[in-house]
Chains A and B, each alone.
Chain A
């Protein structure tokens, strides 16, 4: 599939031709990533990962696939507030519902306001450990979680097989550099701001092995690396009478 992709798509062109090792896709070994793509990812990762606190907003569209293969697109907006070492707040509001997520350095809480129920789980005391625990044990991760790790470069770079540069493109009036990456399970594109703040402008993930290849797209805005976040932001705010129910663990889920 990957080989087919490379052959079929013309625009990787010279970058790939020069750097892709023959047969690399078949072995699954880490392969060719254009230097500028790698460098930019690294700079972005260092910039975000070194911050002690930040907030951002993302406007998101994502696909649902009907069994017939028809794709339906829905929208959501996500607001993130992060304070290292142990504070994260994610608010998700979209066509298909709202989710509230809190991490206070001890436990995570998830609440769907369409229900009178919430769930809480004890997790590691650092954001990286918490994020790993949530996806591995609870079976989900707040969307765009890649940028919340202390080493975002590592988060996004690990499984990349090919990467190349698509040049400068504007996103919502901002000048951004577009990079494209190929992995086993997904293809993804990222737009990184060409400015003093080396932040993502936009992200597109294509789940190419899923039926109808659904996409997840986020357009970032309002990056703030000097936010003044009230500590209470990381404390669950639940309506009176909301009932705590258990989390299903991934193992129990299978």
Chain B
């Protein structure tokens, strides 16, 4: 099975080779920069993840303009449909193949029913335009920036394709253990438990949007201008564009999304996810947010929630002949919803 998947990813990689090369070059620069700020034993972990969760997503964010606009749709066409649509495509993951009766006169009513469900799963449709824009500040940007965002989504597809391939190497596992250790070291003086929750994040914001690809543990001398101060269980954090920072020795270190944090503006690009009793939340590259008064709260992904795409950097595990994917301490099981594969949060298999 792995061989099959790897072969498939290879084809995708070849298809987008041009973009990938450009991205690698940018990534190398960024890696050096991070090395200076981070250093020590942590670098092995960072490097191990290079091409995985960290590959491109954040660099796409930094260099979104480098990846052009519509011209890259060609690569999108070649990509597998299940690779993260960021919640932005209606039926984007079913390849058009009849979800909810799509493409059938007889089943049109059924499709409408499902469309209602779809709307529930895409809360942006329930908002009016101004609310939508509040929640999606990128929509307020001009057209060229919108295209940059499009290229960002495009980039995410590349990323996920590459990262899944990358997952096949054992480096990802090494990376995770390195990350885990580093996170613990960094957090000795902290009382919160975010490293418990996120110990297996792989050291990156693996997911979508501008926050993606920021290396956990990377340090910055200054916060982004838009950073907002938060307090989670008494520990101060700063939040900007989907990335969380903690103060550390006069600098700011990127940390995984701390469970319990409440932000007004969710990360720039997320998919909707049904959280059951907690309503319709957001899956922001593997970080789950539940709607609360005043914004969105970082939560531990609940068992039973399902997402259309895995976080970048998710690692597959074969447990008694069944494939699971793990990311951020969360386990996913692939399942066919209609004619498309999606991923359901499950308890860690024994």
Are the C-beta atoms of B111 and A185 separated by less than 8 Å? yes
Number of A-B contacts (CB under 8 A): 198
Contact with B along A104-115 (1 / 0, CB 8 A): 000000101111
Binding site for B on A (CB under 8 A): 60, 62, 64-68, 72, 74, 76, 92, 94-99, 101, 110, 112-119, 135-136, 138-146, 149, 155-156, 158-159, 183-186, 188, 203, 205, 207, 209-211, 214, 216, 218, 239-243, 245-248, 253-254
Known A98-B95, A143-B96; contact A253-B106, beta-carbon cutoff 8 A: no
- For A115, give its contact among B82, B106, B114, B115 (CB under 8 Å): B82
Contact with A along B104-127 (1 / 0, CB 8 A): 111111111011010000101100
On chain B, the number of residues with a Cβ less than 8 Å from chain A's Cβ atoms is 57
Which residues of chain A are near B1, meaning CB under 8 Å?
116, 241-243
Complex partner residue of B96 from A74, A136, A141, A247, CB under 8 angstroms = A74
The interface residues of chain A lying within 8 Å CB-to-CB of B103 are 60, 62, 141, 143-145, 205, 216, 218
Nearest-neighbor residue (CB-CB) of B139 within chain A: A68
Task: Kindly list chain A residues whose C-beta atoms are within 8 Å of the C-beta of B322.
Answer: 243
Q: Which residues of B contact A159 (CB under 8 A)?
A: 105, 108-109
Judge if B90 is at the interface, Cβ distance under 8 Å.
yes
The residues of B with any CB-CB pair to A shorter than 8 Å are 1-5, 8, 77, 80-82, 88-92, 94-112, 114-115, 117, 122, 124-125, 132, 136, 139, 306, 322-323, 333-342, 344
A144-B104, A186-B108, A211-B125 known; A115-B341 Cβ under 8 A: yes
- Whether A64 and B104, one on each chain, are in contact in the complex, defined by CB atoms closer than 8 angstroms, is no
For B341, what are the chain A residues with a Cβ–Cβ distance below 8 Å? 112, 115, 117, 245
- A67-B124, A96-B81 as given contacts; A241 in contact with B101, CB under 8 Å: no
Contact of B95 among A92, A119, A209, A245 (CB under 8 A): A92
Given A97-B95, A210-B115, is A205 in contact with B340 using a C-beta cutoff of 8 Å?
A: no
**Is there an interface contact between A92 and B336, defined as CB atoms closer than 8 Å?**
no
14 contacts between A and B (CB under 8 A): A62-B96, A62-B103, A64-B91, A67-B124, A67-B125, A92-B97, A97-B82, A115-B341, A116-B2, A138-B336, A140-B98, A141-B103, A146-B104, A247-B335
